[in-house]
């Protein structure tokens, strides 16, 4: 990818799954990585360093703006700048609407939607001062098309698309880019919790590619959108789903 070497990339939810794969992919492209997560991200840091890139782990609660600001301050103190923010932290608390609790709604919205707002607002002053920067957010095909039992998750993932498009309109002239990646069913811990029978009979049959996606395939989309190859792409949503939404 053009233009990623020595870039400083901050990735939330980077301890596992898509976030971890994305950290490793950016390391392979020569970027420096801030591994941010509520849980221990030292394993990801080790794998990034094994690729020959520099990395630092920062614990963060994306629902807490003070915690987010402390994360950004540490990143700036360590690397001097932030070139790319990847808002990847997310949770699920699924239930059919008639059984969904207010607590389940609040928890998912706090992490998946407000967390994206918090991280972007904390990084934004630095990117505006640089007159450059890329903010990428993990949405979902569920955010585009809805899904049974995921009112809260779908709302949060649709919401980040709306924010992303608004930010692109506001700040494209200022040298900043904002895009989303919308993964389909990816072989992560979240999907592995789905019962095998449901996976085979309800999900895989809907994916023309005939398989789950790999975290590395989503990471590749993030790397492309962060690179100079995508410098005229702004306010877009890139689906990585094996054609499951066609």
pLDDT in tens, 151-184: 999 999 999 999 999 999 999 999 999 999 999 9
pLDDT digits (tens, 9 = 90+) for 89-148: 999 999 999 999 999 999 999 999 999 999 999 999 999 999 999 999 999 999 999 999
Which tokens belong to 170? 């506001």
Write down all domains in the chain, each with its CATH number in brackets. Answer: 8-186+215-240 (3.40.50.720)
Strand partners, 32: 8
Nearest to 34 by CA among 91, 81, 1, 2: 81
User: Strand, coil or helix: what is 234?
Assistant: coil
Q: Is 153 a catalytic residue?
A: yes
Tell me which of 153, 167, 178, 185 is the catalytic residue: 153
Q: How far apart are CA 108 and CA 74, in angstroms?
A: 26
Q: How far apart are CA 68 and CA 37, in angstroms?
A: 11
pLDDT, residue 59, reads 98
Nearest to 50 by CA among 29, 68, 28: 28
pLDDT, residue 198, reads 79
* DSSP at 153: H
């Amino acid at each position: 990818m053009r233009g990623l070497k020595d870039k400083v990339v901050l990735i939330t939810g980077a301890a596992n799954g898509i976030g971890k794969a994305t950290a490793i992919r950016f390391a392979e492209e020569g970027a420096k990585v801030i591994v941010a997560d509520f849980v221990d991200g030292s394993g990801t840091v080790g794998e990034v360093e094994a690729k020959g890139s520099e990395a630092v782990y920062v614990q963060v609660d994306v629902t807490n703006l003070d915690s987010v600001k402390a994360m950004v301050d540490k990143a700036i103190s360590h690397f001097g700048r932030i070139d790319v923010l990847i808002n990847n932290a997310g949770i699920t608390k699924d239930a059919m609407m008639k059984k969904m609790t207010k607590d389940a709604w609040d928890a998912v919205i706090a992490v998946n939607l407000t967390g994206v707002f918090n991280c972007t607002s904390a990084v934004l002053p630095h990117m505006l001062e640089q007159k450059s920067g890329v903010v990428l957010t993990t949405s979902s095909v569920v955010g585009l098309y809805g899904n049974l039992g995921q009112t809260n998750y779908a709302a949060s993932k649709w919401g980040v698309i709306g924010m992303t498009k608004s930010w692109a309109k506001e700040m494209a002239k200022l040298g900043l880019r904002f895009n989303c990646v919308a993964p389909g069913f990816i072989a992560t811990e979240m999907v592995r919790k789905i019962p095998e029978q449901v996976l085979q009979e309800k999900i895989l049959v809907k994916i023309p590619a005939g398989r789950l996606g790999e975290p590395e395939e989503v990471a590749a989309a993030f790397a492309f959108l962060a690179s100079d190859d995508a410098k005229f792409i702004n306010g877009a949503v890139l689906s990585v789903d094996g054609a499951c939404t066609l």
